[in-house]
Amino acid sequence: MLNQVIKREYFIYFFFAIVYTLFLVGITTLTGVITINEAEKYISAAEKISNGSTENILKDYIFYSSYIVFLTAIFLLGNTTTVVFVQAILSFLAALCIKKTIDLLYKKSVISYFAMLAYLLCFPVQSWVVTLFSDSFFVSITTFTLFYTIKRTTWKENILWSLLLIILIFARPPGVFLAVPFVLYKLHFTKSISLKTASLLFAFAFCVLMLFTFTVPVESKGYITPIAAGRVIVDSSTYTVEGFNATEKNALKNAYKFLSQKNGISGLLKLYLKKAISFFTLTRPYYSKTHNLIAFLHYLLYLLFLFGSFHLLNTEKKGTVLLFVICIFSLMHLVGITYNEWHYRFTIPIFPFLFIGGAGSIFFLKQIWKRDS
């Protein structure tokens, strides 16, 4: 009997893999493999490492270094197609981790299989698999780390979790803002610290990270100048802001000093709110009607997440809801104090949380249906 269940499960995974492959082939047919714009800097850095130079990655791309090292390793074995292939495998495994996390939080059910398939067919997430941007890699690593954060792990799995945390921190700058709540949740989950202590430690760590974010100098052209320009969505690498001293490197605090003098505190708050709303907005005026329709349908995930989270608050899983909300808030806050991107790629890291939390709403609706029938 057990063997039949295992065989059936592997058959389902095999079927999902075929459907997922066809879906990615369809996306690739529409877009091709994207190696321009942001991808160019990662490819260039990977090539320099291959030639024995690490100056570029240590100086400019330290918080993207996990992905650059990943590209370097793949390029030793293949080409851009190989990168997409490996990213697709990672995304498939991420979907499997979402399925297993749902099983951990609720109970093993057909719902977790549907959630896995829905994630594999989620265009906003999977469209980045066929790019050499760091986003698909980052979302997959986030999902792996989340799974081992929630799972009751062995000492070997704790080592893997620790390695994933390091990879996450250096995959993209937001990684450290996710790593902190992951670590504190794990410590609380294993009874090492109380919820109150975890909350205080998070507040302290968040303030320290904000201090670094506002004071550490970074490239003005690509990062600080668009913020000083008051841009909500950045669609260009070049902005000219009259009256702003755009040196080669600048700190975020200087952009905010300029904006506060120009627009006042109320202007800063309105701008923050616009960016925060933009973070959750998947549609764009420059997308096609079909693209916007597909993106619009994914707003259902927000509703499912809210409903599922509300009901989880009344269970012993309320700490998990708090983790999800903190992670989503942290990612939104980073956009709120900086800017949103031309596409919605800054938003897709929240999708694993949405799928896992949203699945809970289906479980609760199912319970209500059974109770009333």
**For the chain, what is the mean pLDDT?**
92
Q: Kindly tell me if the per-residue pLDDT of 193 is higher than 70.
A: yes
pLDDT bin (cut points 50, 70, 90) of residue 114 is very high
DSSP 253-301: HHHHHHHHHHHHHHHHHHHHHHHHHHHT----TTS-HHHHHHHHHTTHH
pLDDT over 90 at 166, yes or no: yes
pLDDT-based confidence at residue 311 (cuts at 50, 70, 90):
confident
Residue 258 has pLDDT above 70, yes or no: yes
Has residue 248 got a pLDDT over 90? Answer: no
Query: How far is 109 from 324, CA to CA, in rounded Å?
Result: 22
**Ranges of H-type helices in 106-194:** 110-120, 123-126, 135-150, 155-169, 175-189
Q: Please count the other Cβ atoms lying within 10 Å of the Cβ belonging to residue 31.
A: 11
Q: In the prediction, which pLDDT does 220 show?
A: 72
Model confidence at 2: pLDDT above 60: no
pLDDT of residue 362: 86
DSSP SS3 for 237:
coil
Quote the distance between the C-alpha of residue 175 and its chain's center.
Answer: 8
Distances, alpha carbon 89 to alpha carbons 94, 144, 217, 353, in Å: 9, 13, 36, 20
pLDDT over 90 at 360, yes or no: no
pLDDT band at 5 (very low <50, low <70, confident <90, very high): low
Largest CA distance in the chain: 74
Rounded distance, CA 161 to CA 170, Å?
14
Q: The whole model's pTM is what?
A: 0.95
pLDDT value of residue 137? 98
Mean of the pLDDT values across residues 14-21?
98
pLDDT mean over 205-211: 97
Least confident of 95-99, 185-189, 269-273: 185-189
Placement of tokens 């030639």 in the chain: 51
The per-residue pLDDT for range 331-356, each reduced to its tens digit, is 999 999 999 998 899 999 999 999 99
List helix spans (H) across the chain: 2-31, 38-50, 55-59, 65-77, 80-105, 110-120, 123-126, 135-150, 155-169, 175-189, 195-215, 225-228, 252-279, 289-297, 300-312, 318-337, 351-372
Distance CA 137, CA 348 (A): 11
In whole angstroms, give the CA distance from residue 297 to residue 294.
5
CA distance 216 to 209: 10
- φ, ψ (nearest 5 deg) of residue 33: -90, 120
Tell me which of 129 and 9 has the higher pLDDT.
129
Residue 368 has pLDDT above 90, yes or no: no
pLDDT band at 4 (very low <50, low <70, confident <90, very high): low
218-246: per-residue pLDDT in tens?
877 678 989 999 999 987 767 878 888 77
| Higher pLDDT pick, 6 / 195 | 195
Provide the pLDDT for residue 321: 92
Predicted pLDDT at 306: 94
| Owner of token pair 């294993």 | 190
| Residue 369 burial (CB count, 10 A) | 9
Strands 340-341 and 218-219: unpaired
- CB 346 within 8 Å of CB 331: yes
Q: In the numeric block, which tokens belong to residue 98?
A: 């979402």
- Give the pLDDT band (50/70/90) at residue 3: low
- Return the number of other C-beta atoms located less than 10 Å from residue 225's C-beta: 21
Q: Looking at the DSSP assignment, which residues form a beta bridge with residue 34? A: 131
